[in-house]
Amino acid sequence: MPGSEQPVIRASSTDDFIKGLWRENPVFVQVLGMCPVLAVTNSGINALAMGLATTFVLVLSNALVSMLRHFIPRQVRIATFILIIATFVTVVDYLIQAISLDLHRALGAFISLIVVNCLILGRAEAFASKHSVGRSILDGLGMGLGFTLALLCLGGVREILGSGSLFGVALFPAGFQPWIVMILPSGGFFTLGLWLLLFNHLKRRRLAQGLVREVAS
Amino acid sequence: MPADRSQSPPASWPLYRALVGVGVVCGLLIVSVFVLTGPVIARNEAAALQQAVFRVLPGAVAKASLALGEDGHFRPAAADDAAHQMVHAGYDANGELVGVAIEAQGMGYQDVIRLLYGYAPQAQAIVGMQVLASKETPGLGDKIEKDPAFNANFRALAVPLSADGLAPRQPIEAVKSGTKTRPSQIDGITGATISSKAVAAILRQSSTRWVPVVYRLQAELAQQGGPDAGQ
């Protein structure tokens, strides 16, 4: 590879990783995978475990899809991607059972439902099937960590207000009356709505600042 | 991706090759992980069960899993025995029978509630209960697991038998919080009425079946097999 191309590739690889964290965040920007986002974020630890499990599946499925991209005919690509994703979900299901049965019980059916998380199939189709293994892994890692971050944002707020604790550690004195609605499904919608509001506000402000800078220059 | 995909219908071979090839790789991966994690998961499940048995039978330090055979007698449980045919006898440090832990399940508010309760034949009472699995509403129905006042119901919940020893004399029932008058009643939870009544119904149904059997065979249970703390 010519030496002059390296900086371009490095910048692009960094971008593959970074974009999922903020600019193309799967939850706050792409609004993907809403089922686990709303269902399992009633506590910080559930959100973290679900985020990491999804990241694991996303990175490995992106890697395998990218590795096999020249071998998979277009006509059967979706079936093959789902087979690959389902395999890694089964793997992660067994691993979580081996690590902690309590955690497996808390996440319930949502581990199996990672198979139908549109974020994973979306990245396999939109990115991994068209790019190299290295870039696909970085994309999966960035998107997975962005997804985890978003789940933590929701899980943290909901656990603090709904249970008065964060990661199981009590934050308020005994007199605190938890807002039970926050750990019910409706609390998930409220919290997601507020986070989306914040993200859109920040995005608009940034755009406006960019325009001002452009006009000034 | 093949370059000529838009020109003619695809040949079958590449499709079969891709699907079967990926299927074989995925199958091998799943089997490998299953073989590697299987023993660890089995150990975790055994440890969780043992911990739950010791929790619902205060004083027990060893347990023996037993199955009720077709001859109406208990025998050491085998790996293929169904859960609804099994009980877990708990023994104290002197090897004396403390009681029997029994798994039971029934419909709750959201989904099936699975629980384990300890029955002490000498006291003719349920002496502990632990919810093993439930999807009751967080903050409301899940108080059946977390509410200390509700759990206090199961420290000595009387299940006295009729004179012929064939059925409980006073079936277990849930009553409104604070209105318990008999030792076989459960003080319900305000805001989780359906879940607390479901727990009472599960215990009533299971105890009607098991309590007469365990009471009749308690001498056999005390001797049967001997404790297998590691099982």
CB atoms within 10 A of CB A140: 31
Within a domain: residue B125? yes
Q: Which residues of A touch B29 (CB under 8 A)?
A: 87, 91
- Among the residue ranges A88-97, B138-147, B205-214, the one predicted with the least confidence is B138-147
Contact A76, B22 (CB under 8 A): no
Contact A55, A150 (CB under 8 A): no
Examine the pLDDT at A66 and tell me if it is beyond 80: yes
Tell me, what's the pLDDT at A106? 75
Torsion B49-B55-B61-B62 (CA) sign = negative
Residues of A with CB under 8 A from a CB of B: 42, 68-76, 79-80, 83-84, 86-87, 90-91, 94-95, 97-98, 100-101, 105, 108, 129, 162-163, 178, 180, 183-184
Residues 14-33 of B with CB under 8 A from A: 14-15, 17-19, 21-23, 26, 29-30, 33
Contact B87, B77 (CB under 8 A): no
Q: Which residues of A touch B26 (CB under 8 A)?
A: 83-84, 86-87
Torsion B106-B108-B110-B113 (CA) sign = negative
Biggest CA-to-CA distance, chain B: 86
Examine the pLDDT at B7 and tell me if it is beyond 80: no
Helix crossing, A6-21 with A133-163: angle to 10°? 20
- Among the residue ranges A40-49, A52-61, A185-194, the one predicted with the least confidence is A40-49
Within a domain: residue B9? no
Calculate mean pLDDT across residues A3-24. Answer: 67
Calculate mean pLDDT across residues A87-108. Answer: 88
CB atoms within 10 A of CB A29: 18
Residue type, B33: V
Residue-by-residue DSSP string for B17-35:
HHHHHHHHHHHHHHHHHHH
Tell me, what's the pLDDT at A60? 95
- How far is A179 from chain B, CA to nearest CA, in Å? 9
Q: Which residues of B touch A80 (CB under 8 A)?
A: 18-19, 22
pLDDT digit string, tens, across residues B42-77: 999 889 888 999 999 999 998 888 888 888 888 888
Q: Which domain range does residue B99 map to?
A: 40-222
Nearest CA in chain A to B42: A98
- How far is A201 from chain B, CA to nearest CA, in Å? 32
- How far is B184 from chain A, CA to nearest CA, in Å? 31
Within a domain: residue B26? no
CB B19 to CB A105 under 8 A? no
The half-sphere exposure of A25 on its side-chain side, counting CA atoms within 13 A, is 21
Tell me, what's the pLDDT at A39? 83
Residue type, B90: G
CB A101 to CB B15 under 8 A? no
Tell me, what's the pLDDT at A6? 44
Residue-by-residue DSSP string for B150-210:
HHHTTSSEE-PBPTTSSSBSS--EEE-TT---STTEEE--TT-HHHHHHHHHHHHHHHHHH
pLDDT digit string, tens, across residues B92-151: 888 889 999 999 999 998 889 999 999 999 889 999 999 988 878 766 788 888 888 899
Interface confidence, given as ipTM, is: 0.78
Mean pLDDT taken over chain A = 87
Examine the pLDDT at B4 and tell me if it is beyond 60: no
> Residue B106: which residues within 8 A CB-CB, separation 6 or more?
B112, B113, B198, B201, B202, B205
Within a domain: residue B85? yes
Helices assigned H by DSSP within A68-163: 77-99, 101-107, 118-123, 133-163
Per the structure, how many domains does chain B have? Answer: 1
Tell me, what's the pLDDT at A124? 93
> Could you tell me which residue, B175 or A108, shows the higher pLDDT?
B175
Q: Which residues of A touch B22 (CB under 8 A)?
A: 68, 72, 80, 83-84
CB B138 to CB A105 under 8 A? no
Within a domain: residue B32? no
Within a domain: residue B4? no
Instruction: Identify the band that residue A2 occupies on the pLDDT scale cut at 50, 70 and 90.
Output: very low
Pairing of strands B62-68, B74-76: antiparallel
Please give the Cα distance from A9 to A21 (Å, whole number).
Answer: 19
Tell me, what's the pLDDT at B181? 86
- How far is A208 from chain B, CA to nearest CA, in Å? 42
pLDDT digit string, tens, across residues A16-46: 888 888 888 888 888 888 888 888 888 888 8
CB B1 to CB A97 under 8 A? no
